[in-house]
Structure 1
Amino acid sequence: MREKAYFHLPGLFEFYELYRMFLPLFREHREYFYDWCEIGSIYGAPADCIWGGGRAGFGENDPEEVLELMQEYGISDRLTFSNSLLRQEHLSDRKCNALCRLLERYRKPQNGVIIYSELLLEYLKEQYPGLYFVSSTTKVLTDFTQFEEEIRRKDFRYVVPDFRLNKAFDKLNTLSQAEKDKVEFLCNECCWFGCRDRKACYETVSRKNLGENCPEHHCKAPEGERGYLFSKAMENPGFIGINDIRDIYLPMGFSNFKIEGRGLGSALILEFLLYYMTRPEYQIHVREKIYLDSMLDLF
């Protein structure tokens, strides 16, 4: 049984101000939070990175300030460089290379890159050997055999399967402990469980990050026009809640859990932090420390 759940949180550059307030609480008031949870990493990418993938157009905070904050609290930074359509000429991009050099400079703890492109992987292994690599969920690994092959690759420290493999317990339990340690489950996906366009959706984001003029991807999921709703994500067959983590995944030997949300608002990210990490009796204390006061008007 794994004793700790390590959460990999969204918004390294996107939600700097929220983490600047949350991380001191997590350190100084550890009694507010479940003793079985830790922060494994915080991931993201500045808005104008052509290597970026997953989400486009978010993340404006200064990289130096961001990394200094993470170093202060001993948290691993991850760059979301999961663009699936990179070509050789993109590898020389100055901004993305500068970010990799910056991450490699801050080595305690070790920082990483979430990645899709094999071309980029080989380039980063050679140029920035101090970084570790995470196989991105944007690969949409729904076939368990392909997922196993990905886990067995030495290139990756972690592999994020498609959320539709989250409850394949019979197959997941056949993995060795070393393989289980590499699995990072995406917990709170709101995407329709029956979606067949997930890869095309990610490719549209990749094209946008490359500056290509491409049509918008229109989600065909039932009620997809409503956008992300945490309540809807909780009804998803692939949803992993706190009881699932404590009662099923940790006893099975899994310990890494990814929370999505880079393209959402900071208020919703706070709700994720409250739900997954904060003891119910202390959630009001966290809200009060971060934003809630007696003079706050909602409307």
Structure 2
Amino acid sequence: MKIAVLYGGTSGEREVSLSTGKGIIKALKNNGHEVIDIDFSPERLEEVLELNVDLVFIGLHGRFGEDGKIQGLLDMLGLPYVGSGSLASALAMDKAKAKQIFSMNNIQIAKSKAYPVTDETDTMKIIKDVRKKFSLPFVVKPNQEGSTLGLTIVKTDDQIEEAIQLAASSDSTILVEEYVKGREVTVPVIGRQGEEQALPVIEIIPKNDYYDFDSKYKPGGSEHIVPAPIDLSLTDRLKKEAVLAHQELGCNVYSRVDFIINENDEPIILEVNTLPGMTPTSLFPDSALEIGWSYDELIQKFVELSTSGK
């Protein structure tokens, strides 16, 4: 097939996307496809508008990749692509909206509140409300951002204002969320809509305080244990809730669902990643390898799921 790979982009996750793109391009070529690679920028849309390909593989992360905008453009152009559509992508990227959907489906979430932030916003009002509704420690992060960019675990009162400003520098809405202490796990989901399966659960042991940008993307930044050393009933629950979250958001082909297992051994859902990292140190390929799928085979499965029956 003739496949275009969009990667790079202009978000804070550009470097990760460059690595993801390189991996996808190499795998597609190894699988015999003709590849057109595009380092995507909204300022060079003609590169996408003029595409004449069988399929687009989106290797972007963050804004203009994971938020549904590029998917909407490809839909208008009638170009098929790998992964979730515009609405599912936008919902998953909007953490506050996604949490509402999870809660409606009885998937346990951490207590949180979203606050719109503009140049006219009175930060002190937000701080006052946060102090009233949350007890230390808690998390402040942009509502729509990936790779824990702009995230602060607030442990002391004097950190609140700086944490809000940091999160607000990435987004016009910030999310304040109770801090859940526990084990970090993630569940890859793959399959046609209605036929999804969860791959082996991965436990993430970050070298830093939490699974931050360096832990995710620097070699040796975290340890991935596959399958996660947890009991069968909890494994089953994580897999079922991951598939349910994927389905209720309307995701397609693949996603990765992140959880924290709290001190009571209950899974608390964090988010659904519609375009999870596909770098050499990424989680999804690690899990696939556990059931015997090489990286190249995994990428080919995504292609087949995106084109069969169309």
TM-score by length of 1: 0.33
TM-score by length of 2: 0.32
